[in-house]
Structure formats: structure tokens, C-alpha cells
Amino acid sequence: MHPRILKKLATDTRSQHCTRMLTAALLVAASVMSATAGQFEETDRTNPSALQDDANPAAIRSGELWPDDEGVHINAHGGGILKHGDTFYWYGEHKAEHTSNALVGVTCYSSKDLLHWHNCGVALSVTDEHGHDIERGCIIERPKVIYNNVTKKFCMWFHLELKGRGYDAARYGVAVASRPEGPFKFLYSQRADAGTWPLEFGEKELAVVDTLNAANFKQEWTPAWLKAVDEGLIVKRDFPKGQMSRDMTLYVDDDGKAYHIFSSEENLTLHIAELTADYLHHTGRYTRVAPAGHNEAPAIFKHDGTYWMITSGCTGWEPNEARMFSSTSIWGPWTQHANPCRGPKAEKTFGGQSTFILTIDHSSLRSGAGGTPLNNEHSSSISNVQSASNNVQSSINNVQSSINNVQYIFMADIWRPRHPIDARYIWLPIEFEEGKPIIRWREEWKPDF
Ligand code: DGJ
């Protein structure tokens, strides 16, 4: 039986108590068939909790199931958003039922209003070629896509771990496409900036690096070891083969320069690396942020000339308290601030972990990392989409007026390591209080256009 028919059966029977067992069996069968066919769309149907009738969400409800236009919970985790033309594209990790390893690849959804999403399918597929960098079963995390206005290419970067090697490889992967929904062609994966010191390592710093010797630090996490990490102990260790590259995001600045921001040095230090003009390689210019500070999950935006970066601590799939940093230059120095979250579970990032911050500039009608300008026709059609309840509407207007026509949306993941496909999303507007970003919990809200 075709998986679509199995899904139909499952949907038709799910309200009947006596046929629930049959439904579950059919879903498992669908899962096996779809895995064979390598089809992400059908694999999604294996999540019974995602089968629901509501394909028309009225508001963003963080932490709840988020149905796409077919009523299936969106499967695009650790992701990011690209605005291209009048359309938002959401790229993320496809998660399976019982493993976080990549069985499918990077998925893509499209939307005109950030609320209603259409499943565009698999943007970057894993392969069955044995030994390939993105062989099925590898780990692909936190994919982000930016558009290069010069080459007219969509450039995808992601965190890659090679199949069967846990989190040891610590590489970034790069893929490219001519259309936003793909297919993306895998180009290469590697560690970062082999044979290159960070920009801030001058003669004085390199003299200190020269004295650092891993053999002198039998015990980790001592003040002496942390000081040595701060001074470059792990940068030195990985200098020949390249710096580790795990949790990541991309950022395109106002001048068109793009940056890859990632957890490096055993997740102890963030690196910001400049990209080449085609957005496909590092230039070799990079800086370190919060050395020995143990940050993951970087997400960044710029407001009134200040870069704000929100990160998490390192507790695996468990949530922890968000951190926030600011700088007036991408090259630092970066200053740490208090946790920006407010409301229930604020000390655990509302149960989630940051992944991306979307910028929507309503005044210039230009939005997103690598986004392209919208014209007025697009803008009015987007305004027409708005149909929120009065309550939701007024809370959104407050958000918008507080930040002068520019909206920033904080995006995070609520991981479900035992049932990865059921992971949830947190999307909340960023507000400003005393000049600093804050993220207030909202049960529901709707982005304004
Ligand atoms: C936390 C990271 O932020 C996730 O992307 C993932 O790598 C998990 N750790 C794995 O434990």
C-alpha cells in the first residue's frame, strides 16, 4: 500500500479508539516504506501526534505542535529563515522518530506570513554513498541559508558530524543551490581555519601561546586550565588540522559581508569567521568570543549599530539559561549581559535553546540575513494576510512600536531527544528595555506586517 494511503487510513481512524492499534501498525509500516523510498514527506507521517486537522494556525504558540498546510507538525529543527522576494524560507534539521542522526537531510518550508508554512520538501538530501561526508546516519545540525546577491546563489552552511564518529569530527559543511528550495549540491566539509591564528593574536599573544603545553594540564576545569584555554591552549592544539566547528549560525551585515559564527575549541569558545565574497569559504580572518565561556547555539542580530548575540550554555539537549553579548564591531570586544528572557521558565530559556534571530525591517521592507528588498505590491499583499484576534493584535502592535518599525524574532528549539521528531519551536518577539533586548514569554502572538 502506498504510504499516502496509509496516512489517509491513519487519519481516518485516529478518532476511533478500537482502531488505534491498527493505526500505529500502519504508521510503522509507512515509516519503513518511506525510509526505503527516502521520502521525507512520508516519513513525517510516522509521528501520530503530528496528525491533526488544524492546518490553519491563527497565531504562533511556542511549545505547541505547529502544523504545516497539510496539518503535519513542521520538521525543521535547529533552523534559520531566509527572506527572498516576498517569501520566507525556513530551513532546518529533519528529525526522525528515534534518532537525531540525519536520515533525510535539511528540509525547507515556505511562507508569506511566518505563520502558515508549506512543505517544500528536502533541500539537501543525505546520500547512501558509503563513506560520503553526508552519508545517511551522519549528524547534520543547525543549517542556515544566505543568498549571495552577486553570484545569485543560495548558500547553505551547517554543522556536520561524520557517520559513526559521534561529535568528534566537528566540521562545517557547505552546499549551494540556484533556487531557494534547492536541491542544494553538497560542496565540501572541513574544520575551520587550519594553520591560521585569530586576528587578535599578535606577537605578545603568540609568545604566550608558545609556552602553552597540554601535558601541563592533567586536570581540566581548574582555574589554571581555563586561563590556558583563554590564552589559546586548544587553538594551538587544533592549529594544524583546523579549529572545531559545531553549533553555528550565519550573519550577513549591512555591507554585504557575511560571517560564520560557531562553537569551537570543545565548545569552550565561539569563533566568528569572515566569509569570502561568494559566501562559500572562510577568508581566514576570524576572532574569538568569550574564550573559555562554554557557549553554544549562537543567534545574532544588529540594532542601531550594536550587534547582539544570544547563546546558551552547554548541557546537551537539556535547556539552560540564555546568555547575551553585545559589541559595536563584529570583531569585538564583546560584552556579556544578563539573561534576556522574562516570564515562566526564563531561567531555562522557556525550555528551549536558541537557534536564530530573524530581522524584519518594515520601514525599508527588507528583511532577514541575506534577504532581498520587497516592493510595495508585496507589502500590501502581506498586510492583507493579517487576521489576528484583537488580543493578539494589540500585543503585537506594542512590540512593533517599541522597536521603531523593525521586528526581531527570537527562535529556539525545545529538544525531545527520546522522540526527536516531536521537538517543538519557540518563536518570540524581541523587545527593548533600557536599551537592551529582552524576550518575554507569550502564550500566543502573531508577527506584524
Ligand atoms: C546541543 C546543541 O546545541 C545541539 O545542536 C546538539 O548538538 C546537542 N547539543 C547534542 O547533544
Give the domain ranges of the chain. Answer: 72-190
Q: Which of left, alpha, beta for 445 (phi over 0: left; psi -120 to 50: alpha)? A: beta
Ligand 1: which of 159, 246, 263, 416 to mutate, most ligand atoms within 8 Å of CB? 246
State whether the beta carbon of 431 lies less than 6 angstroms from ligand 1: no
Is residue 51 over pLDDT 80?
A: no
Is residue 2 over pLDDT 70?
A: no
Tell the residue nearest (CA) to atom 3 of ligand 1. 297
pLDDT at 404: 67
State whether the beta carbon of 311 lies less than 6 angstroms from ligand 1: no
Is residue 204 over pLDDT 80?
A: yes
Q: How far, in Å, is the centroid of ligand 1 from the Cα of 270?
A: 15
Measured between its terminal Cα atoms, the distance across the chain in Å is 44
Mean pLDDT value across the chain: 84
The number of the ligand 1 atom at minimal distance from the alpha carbon of 312 is 3
Tens digits of residue pLDDT in 142-199: 999 999 999 999 999 999 999 999 999 999 999 999 999 999 999 999 999 999 999 9
- Lowest mean per-residue pLDDT among 40-54, 117-131, 284-298, 400-414: 40-54
pLDDT at 372: 31
State whether the beta carbon of 353 lies less than 6 angstroms from ligand 1: yes
State whether the beta carbon of 400 lies less than 6 angstroms from ligand 1: no
SS (H, E, C) the chain: CCHHHHHHHHHHHCCCHHHHHHHHHHHHHHHHHHHHHCCHHHHHCCCHHHCCCCCCCCCECCCCCCECCCCCECCCEEEEEEEECCEEEEEEECCCCCCCCCCCEEEEEEECCCCCCEEEEEEEECECCCCCCCECCCEEEEEEEEEECCCCEEEEEEEEECCCCCCCCCEEEEEEECCCCCCCEEEEEECECCCCCCCCCCHHHHHHHHHCCHHHCCCCCCHHHHHHHHHCHHHHHHCCCCECCCCEEEEECCCCCEEEEEEECCCCEEEEEEECCCCCCEEEEEEEECCCCCCEEEEEEEECCEEEEEEECCCCCCCCCCEEEEECCCCCCCEEECCCEECCCHHHHHHCEEEEEEEEECCCCEECCCCCCCCHHHHHHHHHHCCCCHHHHHHHHHHHHHCCCEEEEEEEEECCCCCHHHCEEEEEEEEEECCEEEEECCCCECCCC
Q: How far, in Å, is the centroid of ligand 1 from the Cα of 413?
A: 10
Q: How far, in Å, is the centroid of ligand 1 from the Cα of 355?
A: 11
Tens digits of residue pLDDT in 63-103: 999 999 999 999 999 999 999 999 999 999 999 999 999 99
State whether the beta carbon of 413 lies less than 6 angstroms from ligand 1: no
Closest CA to 310 of 354, 371, 252: 354
Ligand 1: which of 171, 247, 353 to mutate, most ligand atoms within 8 Å of CB? 247
State whether the beta carbon of 422 lies less than 6 angstroms from ligand 1: no
Is residue 356 over pLDDT 50?
A: yes
What are 431's three cell numbers?
A: 523587545
Is residue 409 over pLDDT 50?
A: yes
pLDDT at 395: 45
State whether the beta carbon of 156 lies less than 6 angstroms from ligand 1: no
State whether the beta carbon of 161 lies less than 6 angstroms from ligand 1: no
Tell the residue nearest (CA) to atom 10 of ligand 1. 316
Q: How far, in Å, is the centroid of ligand 1 from the Cα of 317?
A: 6
d(CA 321, CA 352): 9
Mean pLDDT, residues 289-316:
98
Q: CA quadruple 385, 146, 349, 336: dihedral positive or negative?
A: negative
Tell the residue nearest (CA) to atom 11 of ligand 1. 316
d(CA 3, CA 125): 20
State whether the beta carbon of 316 lies less than 6 angstroms from ligand 1: yes
Ligand 1: which of 161, 317, 426 to mutate, most ligand atoms within 8 Å of CB? 317
State whether the beta carbon of 432 lies less than 6 angstroms from ligand 1: no
State whether the beta carbon of 296 lies less than 6 angstroms from ligand 1: yes
pLDDT at 367: 42
Is residue 111 over pLDDT 60?
A: yes
The number of the ligand 1 atom at minimal distance from the alpha carbon of 139 is 7
Q: What is the pTM of this model?
A: 0.84
State whether the beta carbon of 92 lies less than 6 angstroms from ligand 1: no
Ligand 1: which of 244, 296, 414 to mutate, most ligand atoms within 8 Å of CB? 296
More reliable by pLDDT, 9 or 399: 399
Is residue 22 over pLDDT 70?
A: no
pLDDT at 364: 58
CATH of 72-190, one of 2.115.10.20, 3.40.50.970, 3.30.1050.10, 2.60.40.10: 2.115.10.20
Is residue 275 over pLDDT 70?
A: yes
d(CA 72, CA 285): 43
The number of the ligand 1 atom at minimal distance from the alpha carbon of 142 is 5
Mean pLDDT, residues 25-46:
36
